[in-house]
Amino acid sequence: MLQVQDLHKRFGGFAAISGVSFDLEKGVVMAIIGPNGAGKSTLFNLITGHLEPSAGRVLLGGRDITGAAPHAICRLGVGRSFQRTNIFPHLSVFECVQAALLAHRGQGRNFWLRSEGLYRAETMALLASLGLQDKAESLAGELSHGNQKQIELGIALASDPDILLLDEPTAGMSAVETHETIALIARIARERGLTLLFTEHDMAVVFSIAQRIGVLHQGRLIAEGDPQAVRADPEVRRVYLGERS
């Protein structure tokens, strides 16, 4: 599904990503972990076209997407959510998700022309799968942080992605919200057969849903494999897990 080949990103003289390579098979849930500043967001930005690599390639289903524009990569089936919540606070929950469906299906320009009825059933179905159907008419900006992240997930899912990249999906959430959000993401990934790549600081979250884990440290992928292998890796314990114990 996704192949990252010897990817590099330099900011001036600073190497934020150095020679990162990994393959992600269809339907697999993979976490990218690493200390602050390890390069996780930069790696996501390189995959989604928000940054151009200094060297290396990104392939999606065998097709080279290196350096393509974010909207083009999104159209090819890569969905994304960001660390900072990205919703439309003055729209209702329904309108947020409906707008994303309209934008993805090429109706964006007609949005202000009697669009209320468009994709009503699809929007409500998506809200129901997120558990947000009762909040459809609420203003997005007035809901809890956890609900806002769920709306964001709905916006990302509206583009019907094959692969979804989530940058710290539980950032800033309470323990209860974190638990609910992770259960939701795991269910949606399973139901849709989604390939999922996510970053996360909470190790309990990582080990509860990731089938594979990649560990970034100073821009390098120092370990990659199933959770058991990564947990036992001495280098990982030293640079990352160890510092938290």
Residue carrying structure tokens 């697999």: 28
Give the C-alpha separation, 200 to 134, whole Å: 29
Contacts of 157 (CB under 8 A, 6+ apart): 79, 126, 164, 188, 192
Contact 115, 123 (CB under 8 A): no
Site string for ligand ATP, 84-123 (x = CB under 6 A): ----------------------------------------
Residue carrying structure tokens 């003055």: 90
Give least dist CB 81 to ligand ATP, A.
14
At 5, the amino acid letter reads Q
Give least dist CB 11 to ligand ATP, A.
3
Specify the residue, 122 or 202, whose C-beta has the smaller distance to ligand ATP: 202
- Residue 243 within binding range of ligand ATP, rule CB under 6 A: no
How many residues interact with ligand ATP (rule CB under 6 A)? 11
By CB atoms closer than 10 A (0-12, 13-18, 19+), residue 228 is: exposed
Region near ligand ATP per CB under 6 A, out of 34-42, 62-70, 89-97, 118-126: 34-42
Contact 49, 67 (CB under 8 A): yes
Give the C-alpha separation, 124 to 115, whole Å: 15
Give least dist CB 244 to ligand ATP, A.
13
Site for ligand ATP in 5-24 (CB under 6 A): 11, 14, 16
- Residue 42 within binding range of ligand ATP, rule CB under 6 A: yes
- Residue 245 within binding range of ligand ATP, rule CB under 6 A: no
* Cα separation values, 79 from 97, 112, 128, 226, Å: 14, 25, 19, 24
How long is the chain? 245
- Residue 39 within binding range of ligand ATP, rule CB under 6 A: yes
Give least dist CB 20 to ligand ATP, A.
11
Specify the residue, 35 or 227, whose C-beta has the smaller distance to ligand ATP: 35
Give the C-alpha separation, 136 to 117, whole Å: 14
Region near ligand ATP per CB under 6 A, out of 39-47, 70-78, 128-136, 157-165: 39-47
Q: Where are the alpha helices (DSSP H) in 130-233?
A: 145-157, 175-192, 203-209, 227-232
Give least dist CB 242 to ligand ATP, A.
17
Among 38, 173, 184, 196, binds ligand ATP (CB under 6 A): 38
Residues at the interface with ligand ATP (CB under 6 A)? 11, 14, 16, 34, 36-42
